[in-house]
Amino acid sequence: MKASSLHGHLDALILSVVEDGPLHGYAIIEALRARSDGALDLPTGTVYPALRRLERTGHLRSEWSNVAGRDRRTYRLTTGGKQALATQRGEWREFRDVVSAVLGTA
């Protein structure tokens, strides 16, 4: 699946993955790939800017840690991020239902 296909949905996907607990950037990419059975094989150039944007909006918070001698930035969902995710899930369900009705797949 192309990263461009995710326009408008990437933030919700990332927030959903981080909802399970704090993760560093590469682990987020791997979780997206695993949850989608490989369909979401997103490049770092797509995910890392989204992580920075989500942090600027207050939906994620990050902290640095050292794991096996490597510095890693770990991202955690904030209260605002939980609220944003709940809103985006509702919007997604509404969008899915409308598209299904129009395409005749409901």
| Cα(15)–Cα(102) distance, integer angstroms | 28
pLDDT at 3 over 70: no
Q: Which fold has domain 3-103?
A: Arc Repressor Mutant, subunit A (1.10.10)
What are the tens digits of pLDDT across the range 54-77? 999 999 999 998 878 889 999 999
Span 73-98, mean pLDDT?
94
CB 81 within 8 A of CB 55: no
| Cα(24)–Cα(76) distance, integer angstroms | 9
| Cα(35)–Cα(38) distance, integer angstroms | 8
Q: Which residues contact 61 (CB under 8 A, 6 or more apart)?
A: 55, 75, 76, 78
pLDDT at residue 68, as a whole number: 84
Residue 24 DSSP SS3: strand
| Cα(16)–Cα(11) distance, integer angstroms | 8
Domain ranges of the chain: 3-103
What percent of the chain is modeled with pLDDT above 70?
Answer: 92
